Chains A and B, each alone.
Chain A
Amino acid sequence: MRPDRNATPRQARPAPLRAGVLVVCGVLAANAAAALTFEFPGPATPSATLSITGASYPLPTARWEKTGLPTKAIEGRVERTAWHIDAPKLTSLDLMAPLRAQIISAGFQPVFECETEGCGGFDFRFATEVMPEPEMHVDLGDFRFLSAERQGPNGVEAIGLLVSRSASKGFVQVTRAVEEQSAPLFAATNKVGSELAPTAGETVTLAMSNRPPLLPSAQAGVAHLVTGGSVVLEGLVFDTGSTELTEGRYAALAELAEWLADNPDKTVALVGHTDASGGLEANIAISKRRAASVRARLIGAYGIPAAQLEAQGVGYLSPIDSNLTEEGRQKNRRVEAILTSTQ
């Protein structure tokens, strides 16, 4: 059970573990980047997948230091999958060695590789992006990480591979980020319209960075619900440590309520968002409860029919600003109203 302290990966241990299970990983939908096929050292089951476009993956490039984890941002499409490898007594090396070999043979160059304390131990674990338990499990006494990149057709493709194990299973998390310099996906889906479209040639910036200009601002008000599809409900205050909307009158809610009353045939989804502190599941739960609290206020205090409103939450998955600064995190903690009527 003692982790191997060799920093240099060597060949995986032979025989019983090499069950040779072929699994297709990282099908980057409708994209030029080819799927990667991994052979895991045991029966593998994907436990969760997350795919985001217009995202940024901070690819670790060196060990954690007091000043933080050195990373390089890969902006484009980010996909993350966690796998459970159903084989007991695997060490992190047993998992890493064969996967590393496959990544290298797919044309990737290692950027940074490390083991447990060499990565920065506890601090690395919390500084890098890890799917929540039970999807991914990181044993702080035995984990390994590899970042690698290759030149793809549209730009850099990067892989972050994190492996660890429990007493009974191996855990593998593969993050794949593909730079996309092609279609302005985000701008298109959000119907930003001509007033925000930059001069030709700069669309890339808009498409890549999921930033406020793409989202309705306070000035746009509830009108943006119709023209842009959604509106951030500005100025909401939640009780500290709670998901309850603090008592008080909110201009944004009054305006939305008036619009809903004037348009009884229209339906709206209230969508809660959080900053990226903490696990995804917990954040989704919090964001959903905050949205539910806003919905309850609209129903209770403004008399909006319940059927016109639904409450959802997406946790930290759709930021409008950087989670690296308090200002950005504050902006990311928000509730949006989205018009869900299709006619």
Chain B
Amino acid sequence: MTPQWVYDVLEQSWPAAGTQRVGPWLIRAGKGGGQRVSAATAEDTVGTADIPQAEAAMQALGQDPLFMLRDRDAVLDAVLEAQGYRKHDPVVVYAAPTAMLASPAPSPMTAFPSWPPLAIAAQIWADAGIGPGRIAVMERVTGPKTAILGRVKDRASGVAFVACYGETAMLHALEVVPNLRRQGSANNIMRMAAIWAQDHGANRLCLAVTAANTNARALYASLGMEVVGTYHYRKK
């Protein structure tokens, strides 16, 4: 069962462009910020009869109906399945104490935080398909936040975004330049993210990854991170 802080930090560290309550639903306006910020969630008891209301609200925003299912949404999950909604992109959330990830510290100049992101960081994201919609999400975050730029052999090798909410920091949009992979860059970025998060009062660092991404999951597990939560989507 996923602790509530996992869902809270997801919401706060990667916020939707806008939210509205429609009956029992929380409808999110994503504006190209990704699936989770475009998905509807049930904030109250819902049944089959409530589905059209959510569908209409999302269509009005120009978004295809997409639902995010958390642990507590087992009933909705079954209802959507019965209506022909397919399970999509199961996600797992990993976490570890920042103190654990922060040591050993990466070598100097292999990773460093900066906000706003340097042009080269934005370029790495753009090349990886993390475009203006997602950069806008990062700009919307109100709490402590930063980009972490990784370097390998005097070249910018990767980047990630980290934001804190309370005692939890969440890392998003980790990208390593394809021809600079497998050289420790992701590891350095993760460790620097933990150091930065620790300096900003967070005692744990988490991140969400598609369950199918075994390479990334192996990296997180090798750092001692553990799965602390799950969610998935349904769409037609």
Contacts and interface: CB of A to CB of B under 8 A. Distances in A.
A140 interface: yes
A286 interface: yes
A262 B227 CA distance: 51
A140 B222 contact: no
A140 B3 contact: yes
Interface in A122-159: 122-123, 125-127, 133, 138-142
Interface in A283-337: 285-286, 326, 329
A286 B100 CA distance: 17
Contacts of A121: 3
Counting chain A CB atoms within 10 Å of each CB, which of B1, B71, B96 scores highest? B1
Contacts of B226: 125-126, 133, 138, 279
Contacts of B1: 1, 3, 139-142
A277 interface: yes
B221 interface: yes
A278 interface: yes
B204 interface: yes
A51 to B, nearest CB: 22
Interface string B76-101: 00000000000000000001110010
Contacts of A127: 97
Contacts of A240: 104, 106-107, 110, 184, 187-188
Interface string A247-290: 00000000000000000000000000000011100100110000
Given A240-B107, A240-B184, A241-B184, A123 B223 contact: no
Nearest to B101: A277
B187 A133 contact: no
B133 interface: no
Contacts of A286: 222
A241 B188 contact: yes
Interface string A70-110: 00000000000000000000000000000000000000000
B103 interface: yes
B221 A239 contact: no
Contact of A242 (B5, B71, B184, B223): B184
Contact of B221 (A1, A123, A277, A282): A282
Contacts of A279: 221-222, 224, 226
A241 B181 CA distance: 12
Contacts of A1: 1
B88 to A, nearest CB: 20
5 contacts: A122-B204, A140-B1, A140-B228, A277-B224, A326-B103
Given A241-B110, A241-B183, 18 more contacts: A3-B1, A126-B226, A140-B3, A140-B228, A140-B229, A141-B2, A141-B3, A142-B1, A240-B106, A240-B110, A240-B187, A240-B188, A241-B188, A242-B183, A279-B221, A279-B222, A279-B226, A282-B223
Closest 10 A/B residue pairs (Cβ): A241-B184, A278-B224, A141-B1, A241-B187, A282-B222, A240-B107, A242-B184, A126-B97, A140-B3, A140-B228
